[in-house]
Amino acid sequence: MKLQCGDKTLDLTSPVVMGILNTTPDSFSDGGNLYRDTRLDLDSALRHADSMVNAGAAIIDVGGESTRPGAEPVSLAEELDRVIPVVEQLHARFDVVVSVDTSRAEVIAESAKAGAHFINDVRALQKEQALQAAAQSGLPVCLMHMQGEPDTMQQAPNYSKVVEEVIAFLKQRIAVCEAAGISRQQIVLDPGYGFGKTLEHNLLLVKHLDQLQTLGCPLLIGVSRKSMIGKITGAEVADRLVGSLALTLECVQRGAHIVRVHDVRETVELLKVHCAVEQAE
């Protein structure tokens, strides 16, 4: 399975790692790590990207607006200021797929001009003009399921049958994208762990992740350091590496193609061992 990302081809025959590069002061795990006083330090961002590429990341995912539970939205100007200079430098310096984690049409369009290869949208291209901007960019897109919005999504998540409802939503968004000119071959799906879901909802979506493969698109998962791991293990955010790796492996064994993580080196090693076992004859 291959995904055409602008001028780069991403081979998804084996699962690949997407390294997280949050250019935000308030993301739940690493917010503010790349800031000097109150301003984003571009050199620090590039050094962190370099370390992830050297550790084996196939994709670097740049996010300029936190989507943690309770997060407040940022202005368009602020998101552009956080994202576009980083995308330009990543495109110029590294042989890696550059992804942009955004829901705004303007950021999608400007990121594509700046050299981005992939659009990762937690709102599945539902914001105004986002669908059109993604279609015009010609880039592959990741459509994620989220119940509600980040500032309220964890207040009272409710489903009758969470797996079926997530699949139905993603199926509908695929149809909308295809109608807008985005081919199914350019669509990736994300069940949205932690986005408007209780621990039980998340666990069911992990257990039955293989059911999403019926939609015929690669699967992206993001469980790194999330609160669901803390609820299971009792570990604080900084101590969730082992839980993150365990949950990532559960997802990969059920068909995940792209894993979005903070801890790139450790996840790459995990996947090397997993693939060696799978390929043994």
* Beta carbons of 249 and 205 less than 8 angstroms apart: no
* Beta carbons of 189 and 143 less than 8 angstroms apart: yes
Radius of gyration of the chain (CA): 17
3-state secondary structure of 188: strand
CA distances from 37 to 22, 25, 159, 226 (A): 16, 10, 42, 26
How far apart CA 156 and CA 276 sit, in angstroms, is 42
How far apart CA 150 and CA 67 sit, in angstroms, is 5
CB atoms within 10 A of CB 210: 13
User: Which class for 11: exposed (0-12), middle (13-18), buried (19 or more C-beta within 10 A)?
Assistant: exposed
How far apart CA 21 and CA 46 sit, in angstroms, is 9
3-state secondary structure of 39: strand
Which pair of tokens denotes residue 157? 């998540």
**What residues are annotated to the active site?**
226, 260
Q: How many helices (H) and strands (E) does the chain have?
A: 9, 12
Q: Nearest to residue 87, comparing CAs of 54, 115, 65?
A: 115
